[in-house]
Structure 1
Amino acid sequence: MTISASHSLDFGGEAICFAIERTARRKTVAISVGHDGVRVLAPSDLDDDRVVAIVRRKGAWLLRKRAMYQELGGVVAAPEFVSGETFYYLGRPYRLKVVLDADAVLSRVTARGASFVAPVQPDATAEVRRAAVRGALRHWYRDHAKRHFPARASVMAELLAIVPPIVRVVDQSKRWGSCDARGCIRLNWRLIMAPMTLVDYVIAHEACHVLEHSHSRRFWRSLETIMPDYEARARQLDKLGHMFVW
């Protein structure tokens, strides 16, 4: 993956800023809008001017999507990993409870009822405590993602009548999921914070890419066949996704 210089378009008096990410695997241009701004993926052999022209044609849509995120207040405040904060697991809220424990070597989060309990050393500084809790939460989420994601991918594979794909849980801040040319699905561990309906949407989307790598008519027909309400789920993920990124 390579990234070109940044670009800026004026559309209706508003600036649309983006960088072009290039990959040899892509055959078409893909444009998305999320908590991190506008993302443009393009084939490695397509020149910048043609890509920019495609983005310009999507200008009205891009501004509507960006306005939606502005209405949501952009991104949520970065968590401080202290008692009282709320974190999500499969769409359900859990209240974080940081407890002092002289026997704690590395903070290990456990789910108890509607709480995440994280023990930390009493003599640790506030900065060290926050780092330990953050690391423990990430470990907990990744562990549970590894348990749930392959099982759900197998369900989608059965619906599509394909061999269950290899699923890898990865750390990527700009994408919920991807599928490579070999049919290996990579899923962002943060997705485990979302409701299962949205987890299933992302996995279904990537499973359809096992059949068709591009967003062709065949791809959308396959996705609609196994998930008729995929558009509503995609919109909901757009609205909620910023809550799950830290």
Structure 2
Amino acid sequence: MTHAYQLIRSRKRKTLGIRIRDAEIQVRAPTGVSRDEIDRFVLSRNDWINRHLSHQREQLSRYQIQISQGGRVMLDGRWLALEWQRAARNEVRQLPEQLKLTLSARVRREEREAVRALLQQWFRVEAEARLIPRCQELAQITGLIPASISIGSWRARWGQCSSKGEIGLNWRLLQLEPRLQDYVILHELCHLQQMNHGPRFHALLAHHCPAHIQLRAELAQYTVCLNW
């Protein structure tokens, strides 16, 4: 039996391809390929799909942010319970084991979406206050000085380094343990000298972050934390 999947056709695409994200299957296909041929292709990759679905479902159960009353949000590698109520103004308060939100009574959109937006705004402000100074600190320690440091929002990467020497850090980094935050920052700083992932880049990263191989493997577990 063929798995249910989302089909995306493209005139530019020449081959069939499968992508699994958030435990959902996406198939990309050229415009001229028939549905029967696509189904046969998906069926031929059944074992691969099952392995990846199983892995991603496990990751979702372990690391997925839950925007609901009594849900959970990760901060610095720790789960905090999430609660909200209506009040005079929007606010986020961080308690030892909890993030407690208040939503303005004037907010009219669906509460969960309003909570999501408020949380993301709070994370971004916190990231500007914490990640930028930390990047500046590590830049001074390593001697790898960026032209600028900014906070961004991406669903597929934790950070980036431009050819102009500009470092961008995803606000979602704050969900990770500080040592993983540092790993991502150091990774991007090393790109200031080596804009690829060749041997020289890895040698430079190993010099500044000896545990980079282990940290990279750990970071891969948290991909689901990018998707909210």
What are the residue-to-residue correspondences of 1:1-12 with 2, within 5 Å? 5-6=12-13, 8=15
Q: Which residue in 1 is equivalent to 2:224? A: 242
Q: Aligned in 2, Cα 1:79/1:89: closer, same or farther, shift over 3 Å?
A: closer
Cα shift readout 1:55-77 (whole Å, capped 9, x = no counterpart) = xxxxxxxx7xx946732416637
Q: Does 1:206 align with 2:192?
A: no
Query: Structure 2: where are the runs of 5+ without partners?
Result: 1-9, 25-47
- 1:153/1:166 Cα in 2 relative to 1: closer, same or farther (>3 Å)? same
Deviation at 1:109, TM superposition (A): 1.3
Q: Is 1:188 the counterpart of 2:170 in the alignment?
A: yes
1:164: Cα distance to partner?
Answer: 4.6
Q: Could you say what secondary structure the match of 1:154 adopts?
A: helix
Provide the rounded CA distance (Å) in 2 between the counterparts of 1:204 and 1:226. 7
Q: Percent identity?
A: 23
2:91 aligned partner:
108
Question: Alignment partner of 1:73: what SS?
Answer: helix
CA pair 154-121 structure 1, distance change in 2 beyond 3 A: closer
Equivalent residues in 2 for 1:74-153, closer than 5 Å: 76=60, 81-101=67-87, 103-104=88-89, 107-121=90-104, 127-153=109-135
Which residue number corresponds to residue 212 of structure 2?
230
Unaligned segments of structure 1, at least 5 residues: 10-15, 19-32, 38-62
**How many corresponding residue pairs?**
194
Give distance in 2, aligned partners of 1:165 and 1:131.
36
Question: Would you say the 8 A contact 1:154–1:165 is kept in 2?
Answer: no
Indicate if the aligned counterparts of 1:36 and 1:174 stay in contact, CA closer than 8 A. Answer: no
SS at match of 1:111: strand
Further displaced range: 69-78 or 197-206: 69-78
Q: Note the C-alpha offset of 1:17.
A: 3.0
1:73 aligns with 2:57: yes
Q: Within 1, Cα distance between the matches of 2:12 and 2:183?
A: 32
- Is the 2:65–2:225 contact (alpha carbons within 8 Å) kept by the matching residues of 1? no
TM-score, normalised relative to structure 1: 0.68
The amino acid that maps onto 1:71 is H
Counterpart check, 1:215 vs 2:216 = no
| Per-residue deviation, 1:4 | 9.1
* Residue in 1 that maps onto 2:6: none
Opposite residue 155 of structure 1, the aligned amino acid is E
Pairwise CA RMSD: 3.1
Give, as a single letter, the amino acid of the residue that structure 2 aligns with 1:229. Answer: A
Residue aligned with 2:168, SS: strand
